[in-house]
Amino acid sequence: MRIYHFRMGQGRSLIEMLLVIILLGFLYASCSNGNDCVIDNVSYARFNFYDKTNTSIKLNATITVTAAGTDSVLVNQEADAKGLELPVSYTGHIDTFIVKYTDLMRDTIFMMHTNIPYFISMDCGMAMYHLVEDVKCTHYAIDSIKLVNPQINFDPNENFKIYYSTLISK
């Protein structure tokens, strides 16, 4: 009776090769942090547009939004907008957004907030949440602005309702 020994190159047995493959699989899995960390570590204030009857609307104008005191364009010539998502400052306590409808018509939104550091994890680090204390605006096209949810974090909740006249809404 003959006994055959199967060898997988340079004296490694089949069991040794399986152990190496299993260990590599565990090593690969341990290097992945999954989806625990957010990719964009910025909280956004969410503004939705309404008419006087509290009906959601699209704007009739193409809008551009900039951050006052900077050359940052936050929204560039957006048509048929139903709302905005604007980043909130990590360090400042007042954010000023300029909403431009035409060369001659623009509104300014002033948002006063408290910054709240939020520890996510050792791997992901810190995030900044915000608590809105007050909001004011000019009234060229905007009739009024209402604070709906003062907590600005990574949740996609509406924070503000902006009410427009029929001149600029569809």
For residue 27, what is the enclosing H or E element? helix 14-31
Domain ranges of the chain: 44-164
Confidence of residue 61 (pLDDT cuts 50, 70, 90): confident
Q: Could you tell me which of 148, 144, 141, 135 has the C-alpha nearest to residue 162?
A: 144
pLDDT above 90 for 93 = yes
pLDDT above 90 for 37 = no
Q: Which two tokens stand for residue 170?
A: 């569809």
Q: Which two tokens stand for residue 167?
A: 């001149």
| pLDDT one-digit tens code per residue, 149-169 | 999 998 889 999 999 986 666
Q: Could you tell me which of 49, 69, 67, 68 has the C-alpha nearest to residue 59?
A: 49
pLDDT above 90 for 40 = no
Can you give the three-state secondary structure of 41-55, one letter per residue? CCCEEEEEEECCCCC
